Amino acid sequence: MARFMALMAVLAAILLPVAAHAADATPGASPSASPSASTAPTTGTAINVLLTNQSDKAADGTAKPIPGVTLNVTDEAGNAVGSGVTDAKGRAIIAVPAKATYKVTLDEKTLPEGIALGDGTADSVTVAVRLDGPNNFAAFPIGVQAKATTGFGDKLSDSIVSGVKFGLIVALAALGLSLIFGTTGLTNFAHGELITFGALVAYLFNVTIGLPVIVAGVIAVILSGAFGWLQDAVLWRPLRKRGTGLIAMMIVSIGLGIFLRYVYQYLFSSETKPFSDYTNQARRDYGFIRLADKEVAILLIAIVAITVVCVAMMTTRFGKAMRAVSDNPALAASSGLRVDGVIRNAWILGTLLSGLAGVLLGVNSQINFLMGFKLLLLVFAAVTLGGLGTIWGALIGSMVIGLMVEVGPLFGVPSSIKEVGALIVLILVLLVRPQGILGRRERIG
């Protein structure tokens, strides 16, 4: 029987290439193998539309998908940007050139027999494409019975996974910041640019030179370490030798940050670009959680790197030396430690970890010259929350911040400003317990 006046909902979700619901694009692609499938947009920035028939639900309550419907995307000036046809799962992924506001129009003539738009349902929806982080998607329902496609439990587990992943990436950068702060006392306002450095170098070797993403990532991490050494040798060490004060060094780091940001923009342009590979990857179902293979890789790499650093800090001579210097540089020096060498190592290791964070963040989402700067305050928040200069504190603080940022939107935090919560926590921690969760009570005022 032909069904008239089917109620249906259109959900358009903006996706980072990684993020959730891009799911069906490349079933089974593994991080070490094939490039993304042909349905995936090459640029990575895309509008994701899901068409389901809300009046025809399966036994488990999920609405049936509507395949074969043409969707056209136009920009604000009305120029056609692209179009897509929904696949067997009712999903269409339409690549867009840049982040901006677009209008998605449904071609009613292509609707399957017996299905029509409900009364009072517009055939178009305006979508603002933003790229501030994974899972930053917005749903714009068209139709009388607009319903979210995923239940709260699914959303919660998805956002917890995103939060852990984001937290681990922040943790890498926070460890880097913490190492440098611990040994030198410098609050490095150019730390965000060290994160960006890793991602940009990886992009250079991957897209410009044409090496595989993984090789490019390894090179980028190594070069990040070299960049840390260079910075210390050329800038920070001479400043320490001159006896420049910490406040002066902090302002120098602001200048360095501005300098690097604009050099990055000069060389990379202000566009947001993806790596050549792993842009859109399917998520596999692991029971409670769904993860794309590259997300598994990111989680594993981050956990291994953090574990190695933490164990090394606790057990090796190198780690002990670093902790000794951060406890009391003068005493460490008089015990025969080469303080300058230890600080140099801290710069190398710290920058290397931050570069790794940048590479992983680039794989996770995309690359932009401001990506590190946008992360800087969250890294500060993580480090302050855990306790400035403590290794475990940085780790715990990062996880809390990561989860807060990603899970917050589920509990009413507006998703376009989900970072605000973490920054408010930063201020509150300083109010209540300025030494952080794990920090020792010492002179902070």
Partner 1 sequence: MDLLDILRTALTQALGPSAIVYALAAIGLNIHFGYTGLLNFGQAGFMAVSAYALAVTVVQADLPFWLGVVLALVAPVVLALLLGVPTLRLRADYLAIVTIAAAEILRLVFGAVETKDVFGGSNGLNGYSETYKGLNVYTKLGVGRDGLDLGVVQYSRDDLWNITVGWTLVALGCLFVWLLMRSPWGRVLRSIREDEDAVRSLGKNVFAYKMQALILGGVFGGLAGLFLALKQSSVVPSDYSSNITFYAYTALLLGGAARVLGPVVGAIIFWFLLTGLGELFSQLTSGTDPILPASIMDGTQASLVRFIVTGLALMLLMIFRPQGIFGDRREIAIDAR
Stretch that binds partner 1, among 104-112, 220-228, 247-255, 309-317 (CB under 8 A): 247-255
In whole angstroms, how close is the CB of 270 to partner 1 at the nearest point?
8
* Residue that the structure tokens 């952080």 belong to: 436
Site string for partner 1, 414-433 (x = CB under 8 A): x-xx-xx--xx-xx--xx--
CB 318 within 8 A of CB 341: no
Q: Does 244 bind partner 1 (CB under 8 A)?
A: yes
Among 251, 300, 303, 311, binds partner 1 (CB under 8 A): 251
CB 310 within 8 A of CB 391: yes
In 3D space, the residue among 61, 41, 38, 58 whose CA is nearest the CA of residue 49 turns out to be 41
- The CA distance from 99 to 134, in Å, is 14
Stretch that binds partner 1, among 31-39, 46-54, 169-177, 238-246 (CB under 8 A): 238-246
Q: Does 335 bind partner 1 (CB under 8 A)?
A: no
Q: Does 239 bind partner 1 (CB under 8 A)?
A: yes
Give φ, ψ of 12 to 5 degrees.
-105, 125
Please identify, using beta-carbon distances, which residue of 5 and 420 lies nearer to partner 1. 420
In whole angstroms, how close is the CB of 424 to partner 1 at the nearest point?
7
Binding positions for partner 1, 116-155, rule CB under 8 A: 128
User: Which are the contacts of 428, defined by CB distance < 8 A and separation ≥ 6?
Assistant: none
Binding positions for partner 1, 283-312, rule CB under 8 A: none
- The CA distance from 407 to 360, in Å, is 20
Stretch that binds partner 1, among 81-89, 169-177, 242-250, 276-284 (CB under 8 A): 242-250
Site string for partner 1, 269-288 (x = CB under 8 A): x-------------------
Would you tell me the crossing angle of helices 339-364 and 152-184 to the nearest 10 degrees? 160
In whole angstroms, how close is the CB of 341 to partner 1 at the nearest point?
23
Would you tell me the crossing angle of helices 371-386 and 152-184 to the nearest 10 degrees? 80
- The CA distance from 440 to 438, in Å, is 7
Binding positions for partner 1, 212-231, rule CB under 8 A: none
In whole angstroms, how close is the CB of 257 to partner 1 at the nearest point?
7
Q: Does 261 bind partner 1 (CB under 8 A)?
A: yes
Stretch that binds partner 1, among 2-10, 36-44, 154-162, 252-260 (CB under 8 A): 252-260
Please identify, using beta-carbon distances, which residue of 39 and 265 lies nearer to partner 1. 265
Q: Does 256 bind partner 1 (CB under 8 A)?
A: yes
In whole angstroms, how close is the CB of 253 to partner 1 at the nearest point?
9
Q: Does 187 bind partner 1 (CB under 8 A)?
A: yes
Q: Does 234 bind partner 1 (CB under 8 A)?
A: no
In 3D space, the residue among 147, 169, 134, 148 whose CA is nearest the CA of residue 401 turns out to be 169
Please identify, using beta-carbon distances, which residue of 233 and 246 lies nearer to partner 1. 246
Element housing 103 (H / E): strand 101-106
In 3D space, the residue among 324, 259, 291, 390 whose CA is nearest the CA of residue 30 turns out to be 291
Q: Does 438 bind partner 1 (CB under 8 A)?
A: no
Site residue total, partner 1 (CB under 8 A):
43
Q: Does 380 bind partner 1 (CB under 8 A)?
A: yes
Residue 248, CA atoms < 13 Å, CB-side half-sphere: 8
Q: Does 262 bind partner 1 (CB under 8 A)?
A: yes
CB 372 within 8 A of CB 193: yes
Q: Does 173 bind partner 1 (CB under 8 A)?
A: no
CB 178 within 8 A of CB 394: yes
- The CA distance from 211 to 274, in Å, is 14
In whole angstroms, how close is the CB of 91 to partner 1 at the nearest point?
25
Q: Residue 211: count other Cβ atoms within 10 Å of its Cβ.
A: 17
CB 391 within 8 A of CB 210: no
Among 28, 97, 114, 255, binds partner 1 (CB under 8 A): 255
- The CA distance from 337 to 329, in Å, is 9
The two tokens of residue 273 are 């670009």
Judge residue 444's burial from the number of C-beta atoms within 10 Å of its C-beta, 0-12 exposed, 13-18 middle, 19 or more buried. Answer: exposed
Stretch that binds partner 1, among 25-33, 155-163, 237-245, 272-280 (CB under 8 A): 237-245
Stretch that binds partner 1, among 78-86, 89-97, 305-313, 380-388 (CB under 8 A): 380-388
Q: Does 257 bind partner 1 (CB under 8 A)?
A: yes
In whole angstroms, how close is the CB of 412 to partner 1 at the nearest point?
10
- The CA distance from 357 to 139, in Å, is 29
Give φ, ψ of 256 to 5 degrees.
-60, -40
* 205 DSSP 8-state letter: I
Residues of the shown chain interacting with partner 1 in the complex, contacts defined by CB under 8 A: 128, 187, 239, 244-248, 250-252, 254-263, 265-266, 269, 377, 380-381, 384, 414, 416-417, 419-420, 423-424, 426-427, 430-431, 434, 443-445
